[in-house]
A and B are shown apart, each in its own frame.
Chain A
């Protein structure tokens, strides 16, 4: 059982780009967006992610200090992801609002 994320992730990414079907591009993008959207959703919202299938192999838990450091890093990452998502949503809603206002003025 030699196959792991070290092989699947690079092969998958290369295949996803190079083997994209030309005729059904939009459908393909909708299908392909599942994994990143799900990953972001887990990073932002899922609280007890200790036992979810690890995306990058096993994480080693050797000592308490390291665990604490990992938890702190994980919390920071989640906060950063949440902040960037909320900022992009805010930007998107602002631009939609601006466009709607422009339409009303016209």
Chain B
């Protein structure tokens, strides 16, 4: 059974992935279509997050017409930082975490070489990085999917069945939200 402790080379690769995502983020953050007031869902998310920050945590009356998780994620980050760049920055940190989780899951099933390839390909997938630079719920999808898959992998292949299944269930629940 391989150790889950990351090697120094893994940290370097993750730092490179973060740097790559940061470059894309800096290029896209001032684009007119990625602004909070661009209209459609981004604007609605920001308006709802503002209501949450103002104390209307239930957002009632009425039903959620957008994914609830992202509203609260946005509200939590904005309450602390008051900056959309911080939200985007956190999203690319989570995206880098997704690459690490893909590495862990692939390493368990297919070995180190396949894990490196899978992590490298996911780091170079433009679609993931693009969505992580936007203020949309899709920004969390790669991280939550990778987390669910990695937890499920650890539950099935190692002895941490109960805790890993619990984590997998939690990430799947968050993903559904």
Contacts and interface: CB of A to CB of B under 8 A. Distances in A.
B96 interface: no
Contact of B141 (A19, A21, A27, A53): A53
Interface string B88-132: 000000000000000000000110001000000110111101010
Contacts of A28: 109, 156
Taking residues whose C-beta sits less than 8 angstroms from the other chain, chain A's interface range is: 20 to 34
Interface in B122-151: 122, 124-127, 129, 131, 136-138, 141-142, 148-149
Interface of B: 24, 41, 65-66, 109-110, 114, 121-122, 124-127, 129, 131, 136-138, 141-142, 148-149, 152-153, 156-157
B137 A51 contact: yes
A99 to B, nearest CB: 29
Given A2-B126, A21-B109, A52-B141, A8 B121 contact: yes
A97 B47 CA distance: 52
Contacts of A52: 138, 141
A31 B153 contact: yes
A6 B156 CA distance: 30
A101 interface: no
A104 interface: no
A91 interface: no
Interface of A: 1-5, 7-8, 11, 15, 19, 21, 24, 27-28, 30-31, 34, 48, 51-54, 57
Contacts of A54: 127
A27 B156 contact: yes
Given A1-B125, A51-B136, A53-B142, A15 B149 contact: no
A7 B66 CA distance: 31
Given A27-B156, A27-B157, A2 B127 contact: no
Which of A2, A30, A34 is most buried by chain B, counting CB atoms within 10 A of its CB? A34
Given A3-B126, A7-B121, A19-B114, 20 more contacts: A1-B129, A2-B124, A3-B121, A4-B126, A4-B127, A8-B121, A8-B125, A15-B110, A15-B114, A21-B109, A28-B109, A28-B156, A30-B156, A31-B149, A34-B149, A34-B152, A48-B65, A51-B137, A53-B127, A53-B138
